[in-house]
A and B are shown apart, each in its own frame.
Chain A
Amino acid sequence: METFRTYFILLALVGLFSSCEETIELDLDQTEERVIIEGLVSTQSDKNFVKISKSSPFYVAGSTPRVTNAVVTVSNQEGQVFTMVHNPGNHPDSSGIYIPDPPFSGVVGHTYFLEVSFDGLIFTGSDKMAPVIAIDSLAWGLSTSGFPNLDEPEHIYEVLLYAENVIPDRNFLLFKFYRNDTITGPETNSIFTADDQLIGDKIEGLSAPVLFAKNDTARVEIYSLSQPAFVYYNDLFNVLNNDGGLFSPPPANPRTNLSNGALGFFQASALSTDSIIVDPDN
């Protein structure tokens, strides 16, 4: 679906074929900073984390401020509480990131609850973990279609995904594609989500949105999403790709499952993953 939507926005703008653009300096109001919470409980224990940060003024670059003094707990519907510890490895890049100690794996069908408190503020959120479709296999081949990137002439292989949708209920998916452990998407503000009402029972040869070179490793992750999580990612996509409200809707902050004015999302996802090495010589 996202491929299609990207086209849609691109064409709306490019369709006006003689358009030009330039950078302008905006005189923006400085508003108070907002709390951003990003949390994940998944079926894979080493993926679980909660990250707490704050917004920056629009023109200020660099890492946004991190909250390191929060008390963070995750619990499930049975009252089981998982303690989250701030940056146990004390890694400078992981400031503001809380990891469960001890680690735990989420269970499909369980509802998870997040509570974050710091500086007298309390934020809560919850999400129910939906089942995920299993990746059947990945395959690679010479790219037959698509747009070869002239800057990367060695990237001529596509990677295709095969999966079967056996889940009876309506389900929502988030795809992440990695080339040698580097994710594809953020650099083009792309987010790849799907609603199974629009896709059929089978995914037969869905191509990764990036091309690969010889000996590259391709990895695909599929996360199950609850409907609110699907809505969040769509909203995030829209705000990342907004044209200022001429053709696209006026931008708005994504709808969240977090309380007390926090932005971000607390997500519970089952995870299905697979990888393949592009090895045409073997």
Chain B
Amino acid sequence: MRTGLTLIILLMTCLNIVAQDRATINGYVRDASDGEELIGVTVVVEGTGAGAITNAYGFYSITIPQGEYNIIFSYVGYDREVVPVQLNKNQEMNIELTAEVREMEEVVISERAIDANVTDLRMSRVDLNMNTVKKLPALFGEPDVIKTIQLLPGVITAGEGTSSFFVRGGSADQNLILIDEAPVYDPSHLFGLFSIFNADVLKDAELYKGGIPPRFGGRLSSILDVRTKDGNNKKFAGNAGIGSLASRLMIEGPIKKDKSSYIISGRRSYVDLFLRAAGEENLVYFYDVNAKVNWRHNNNNRFFAAVYLGRDVFTVGDNFSFGWGNATATFRWNHLFNDRLFSNLSLIASNFDYELGLLDPVQGFSWTSNLRELTLKQDLAYFISPEAELEFGYHVTYRGFAPGKISPADNGSIFLTTELQKQFALDHALYANAQTKVSPRLSLNYGLRLSLFQNLGPFDLYSYDDPDNNVDPVRTDTTFYGRFEPLVNYLNLEPRVSARFLLDDQSALKASYNRMVQNTHLIASGTVPLPFNTWSPSSPFLEPQIADQVAVGYFRNLRNNELEFSVEAYYKDMDYVTDFADNAQIFFNEDLATEFRQGDSWSYGLEFFLQKKEGDLTGFASYTWSRTFRHVPDVNLDRTFFANYDRRHTFNVVGAYDLNQSWSFGGNFTYSTGRPITLPSGRYEFGEGFQADLITDRNSYRLPAFHRLDLSATYSPKKNATRRFKSSWVFSIYNVYSRKNPFTIYTRIAEDEDGNIIGDGTQKEARLIYLFPILPSITYNVNF
């Protein structure tokens, strides 16, 4: 901690040497209608090439020689604002942008600033606009940001009906998913049919697949940074939606106009109400609550407090139940030390837990597990000049893992109270990142993240005769570590570098290299994580996972920036990827350490992306060619195998079209190579009639290809223009041509159509499970 502070102070002193005849202009960019800060607004000083992009808090700062300038603020979907300034001293300029009003006979604006697609230093990154997400057809009419992310280049899914995604050869647990900076350990509702992100409250979602900034760490493959709205600080507003699966209500408004605001949103599914009405005893529901308040003490001090709470509850019959949920809380303080030094201090708490319960007098038990963490983050951004910017900071996280506890449900239960040992960890990170404009064409971004991970006591650490013997583990010794005593320390340096070279004002070449380290490991051996999976810290038996990725890309804007095109190639090499021995018993195993197997994984691919963000027709098309392999000792008899989520070809097209003020349409089509699957090569008998599959190579078969078309139409009555309550209807059709898309294959003893076993019960057959046939749905929304 002390070295960290010293370094920060050193950096700050070094940077105070700045020429005196310059002046800084800084401020926040907001939406004129609701005061919402806008992330990613391009701020350009006309005629100088100097500029900035508003950060995650809507803040920008530009330092330029004193003089007279026109400052241009532009943002997709908003009218451009040109502000003349007489800059002779440091100046604060907060700007409000007005959402553009779309007229039928609209003329396309011809003069525009060069799009960030080309100029932005960052690559392998996609910023998702929530309006796009909302326009797309959605399963059961519930717009879902994760389902849109699953369509992006370089992102692969395990199929439909899951909220997991796989980025550039990484597994589902290698994505860091953040809501208002707080990590979410399981983003799924209803086993993944929906994600926990309620589209009503989301402001912005960014996915980083490569060139990951040093302020992020802790996962190998990607960062999904989701930010919620701050709440309207101009007037009371809200919206409500009634869907076929869930209903939503969101209200927002000022506490003190232009100073402070709140937003509260809730969502609840009501399948259970239908089921109950139908006399069904099996119940299932989920709910979400998002709440946020923010207040501007003055322009130098802003405060935010945000809370997310969500839970899924299932009950089967009278006696079996389970549930899981995330709870996060974020408190942020944005402070301006001076015109050019922006500070963000965050205090973040996150909790993930699940429970399983069987109510039975004899076999009853309840099982609980949780993961809790508390993080303190100090991030600083120093806007030295338009040519240089420095970011640095220190993060520390304390985590407690309670992998599992079984308690008897009743006095007569055969179960004992048993608890697996809790684990603790402290995760420090110190980082710095500099952005430099080397020449008008070449810009560099280089940074370093130093991560120190400590696995801490109290803990009884077992030593094993053979740490890989998972059949009959023999413990040779037990060492006790006291509270906060480190069992092991892992120190890692993570370099992150990227460069952009402008070929002309329409195209650029970009390249990046990053190293990522992951110290929290998901204990799951299936492809798709279940909410019942636990996490484990790096420990004496579990090394940190490390990934090195290089990516190069060509970025080009076409038709006067109307179309954004990019092609990227990547190679990713991962060491110590966490896997489990064949047949691993990962559920409630005190000797889990003997099941860990860490190995190598490597992935390469080519990604094409074409996007149109403005106009009546918006959308994108993506094509990804990729391959991902694994080689892990003791897994698949030491032979290399395709990763569970390897898909050769993935092709997606997404489009939204505004026909007129009443009607708009959306559609998407997705195609991908079938995922690998392990299938039997034979059958054998064991015991009193068991017909077991003989297994040979892991993942050596492919499921049939996956493809699907979805369409939607949104109708907003013309009367809306004059009404306080604006209503709209969303009609959507999921899986238009009712493709039986493979979910998975299992085998069983052959049965006839009535469920009777055929013959002597030795004939086996394979069954293909598919999820959703054609599914129409209607949602009614009201905005007020």
State whether A12 touches B416 (Cβ < 8 A).
no
User: Interface centre among B408, B527, B588, by most A CB within 10 Å?
Assistant: B527
User: Interface centre among A16, A186, A239, by most B CB within 10 Å?
Assistant: A16
Who on chain B is nearest to A60 by CB?
Answer: B683
A109 within 8 A of B: no
Name the A residues within 8 Å of B748 (CB-CB).
189
Name the B residues within 8 Å of A255 (CB-CB).
471, 582-583
State whether B161 touches A29 (Cβ < 8 A).
no
State whether A244 touches B746 (Cβ < 8 A).
yes
The CA of A44 and the CA of B317, in the complex, are separated in Å by 41
Interface string of A181-198 (1 = CB under 8 A from B): 001011101010000011
Name the B residues within 8 Å of A202 (CB-CB).
414
Question: A227 contacts which of B472, B688, B690 (Cβ < 8 Å)?
Answer: B472
The minimal Cβ–Cβ distance linking B560 to chain A, given in whole angstroms, is 46
Interface string of B518-548 (1 = CB under 8 A from A): 0000000111101010000000000000000
Name the B residues within 8 Å of A64 (CB-CB).
683-685, 762
The CA of A202 and the CA of B362, in the complex, are separated in Å by 10
B584 within 8 A of A: yes
State whether A59 touches B767 (Cβ < 8 A).
no
Q: Which stretch from B2-10, B46-54, B102-110, B694-702 is at the chain A interface?
A: B694-702
| Contact A231 B585, CB 8 Å, known A31-B682, A253-B695 | yes
Name the B residues within 8 Å of A242 (CB-CB).
693, 746-747
A150 within 8 A of B: no
A125 within 8 A of B: no
Name the B residues within 8 Å of A206 (CB-CB).
362-363, 414
The minimal Cβ–Cβ distance linking B172 to chain A, given in whole angstroms, is 12
Q: Which of A205-261 contact B (CB under 8 A)?
A: 205-207, 226-228, 231, 234-236, 238-240, 242-255
State whether B681 touches A58 (Cβ < 8 A).
yes
A38 within 8 A of B: yes
Tally of contact residues, A, Cβ under 8 A: 86
Name the B residues within 8 Å of A59 (CB-CB).
763-764
B300 within 8 A of A: no
State whether B769 touches A38 (Cβ < 8 A).
no
| Contact A34 B525, CB 8 Å, known A18-B771, A20-B769, A251-B680 | no
The CA of A127 and the CA of B494, in the complex, are separated in Å by 50
The CA of A29 and the CA of B158, in the complex, are separated in Å by 25
Question: A21 contacts which of B590, B678, B767 (Cβ < 8 Å)?
Answer: B767
State whether A13 touches B769 (Cβ < 8 A).
yes
Who on chain B is nearest to A10 by CB?
Answer: B316
State whether B771 touches A16 (Cβ < 8 A).
yes
Question: A244 contacts which of B408, B532, B745 (Cβ < 8 Å)?
Answer: B745
State whether B768 touches A22 (Cβ < 8 A).
yes
Question: B314 contacts which of A11, A56, A189, A251 (Cβ < 8 Å)?
Answer: A11
Question: B678 contacts which of A15, A22, A147, A244 (Cβ < 8 Å)?
Answer: A244
Name the B residues within 8 Å of A249 (CB-CB).
525-526, 580, 583-584, 586
The minimal Cβ–Cβ distance linking A255 to chain B, given in whole angstroms, is 5
State whether B767 touches A53 (Cβ < 8 A).
no
State whether A19 touches B690 (Cβ < 8 A).
no
State whether B158 touches A246 (Cβ < 8 A).
yes
The CA of A183 and the CA of B690, in the complex, are separated in Å by 11
B29 within 8 A of A: no
Name the A residues within 8 Å of B530 (CB-CB).
12, 247
Name the A residues within 8 Å of B761 (CB-CB).
187
Q: Which of B738-768 contact A (CB under 8 A)?
A: 740, 743-748, 750, 757, 759-768
Interface string of B209-243 (1 = CB under 8 A from A): 00000000000000000000000000000000000
The minimal Cβ–Cβ distance linking B80 to chain A, given in whole angstroms, is 47
Who on chain A is nearest to B704 by CB?
Answer: A24
Who on chain B is nearest to A147 by CB?
Answer: B317
Size category of the binding interface on chain B: 35 or more
The minimal Cβ–Cβ distance linking B173 to chain A, given in whole angstroms, is 14
State whether B683 touches A247 (Cβ < 8 A).
no
A107 within 8 A of B: no
The CA of A25 and the CA of B356, in the complex, are separated in Å by 37
The CA of A276 and the CA of B284, in the complex, are separated in Å by 40
State whether B414 touches A20 (Cβ < 8 A).
no
State whether A238 touches B694 (Cβ < 8 A).
no
The CA of A236 and the CA of B316, in the complex, are separated in Å by 27
State whether A61 touches B414 (Cβ < 8 A).
no
The CA of A57 and the CA of B690, in the complex, are separated in Å by 16
User: Interface centre among A11, A207, A226, A228, by most B CB within 10 Å?
Assistant: A11
State whether B284 touches A245 (Cβ < 8 A).
no
B773 within 8 A of A: yes
Name the B residues within 8 Å of A57 (CB-CB).
681-683
Question: B743 contacts which of A160, A183, A246 (Cβ < 8 Å)?
Answer: A246
Who on chain A is nearest to B472 by CB?
Answer: A227
State whether A58 touches B471 (Cβ < 8 A).
no
A41 within 8 A of B: no
State whether B415 touches A264 (Cβ < 8 A).
no
A149 within 8 A of B: no
The minimal Cβ–Cβ distance linking B360 to chain A, given in whole angstroms, is 7
State whether B418 touches A197 (Cβ < 8 A).
yes
State whether A245 touches B694 (Cβ < 8 A).
no
Name the B residues within 8 Å of A24 (CB-CB).
745, 766-768
Interface string of B663-701 (1 = CB under 8 A from A): 000000000000001111111111111101111101101
Name the A residues within 8 Å of B743 (CB-CB).
16, 19, 246
Name the B residues within 8 Å of A244 (CB-CB).
677-679, 744-746
Question: B528 contacts which of A28, A183, A246 (Cβ < 8 Å)?
Answer: A246
A145 within 8 A of B: yes
| Contact A205 B361, CB 8 Å, known A186-B690, A231-B471 | yes
The CA of A39 and the CA of B375, in the complex, are separated in Å by 56
A203 within 8 A of B: yes
The minimal Cβ–Cβ distance linking B221 to chain A, given in whole angstroms, is 20
The CA of A38 and the CA of B685, in the complex, are separated in Å by 9
The CA of A232 and the CA of B775, in the complex, are separated in Å by 43
The minimal Cβ–Cβ distance linking A141 to chain B, given in whole angstroms, is 12
The CA of A244 and the CA of B528, in the complex, are separated in Å by 12
Q: Which of A18-76 contact B (CB under 8 A)?
A: 18-26, 28-31, 33-34, 36, 38, 53-64
State whether B161 touches A16 (Cβ < 8 A).
yes
State whether B525 touches A250 (Cβ < 8 A).
yes
B298 within 8 A of A: no
Name the A residues within 8 Å of B418 (CB-CB).
197-198
Name the B residues within 8 Å of A11 (CB-CB).
314, 316, 320, 322
Given known contacts A57-B682, A200-B408, A251-B693, what 18 new A-B pairs fall within 8 Å (CB)?
A16-B743, A21-B769, A24-B768, A56-B682, A59-B763, A61-B762, A61-B763, A63-B762, A187-B757, A198-B406, A204-B414, A207-B363, A226-B472, A228-B471, A234-B585, A239-B693, A240-B693, A247-B526
Residue pairs across A and B with Cβ atoms less than 8 A apart, 6 shown, are A20-B773, A57-B683, A63-B685, A231-B470, A235-B583, A245-B699
Chain A residues engaging chain B, CB cutoff 8 angstroms? 3-5, 7-8, 11-13, 15-26, 28-31, 33-34, 36, 38, 53-64, 145, 147, 160, 176, 183, 185-187, 189, 191, 197-200, 202-207, 226-228, 231, 234-236, 238-240, 242-255, 263-264
Closest 4 CB pairs of A and B: A249-B525, A186-B689, A252-B582, A61-B763
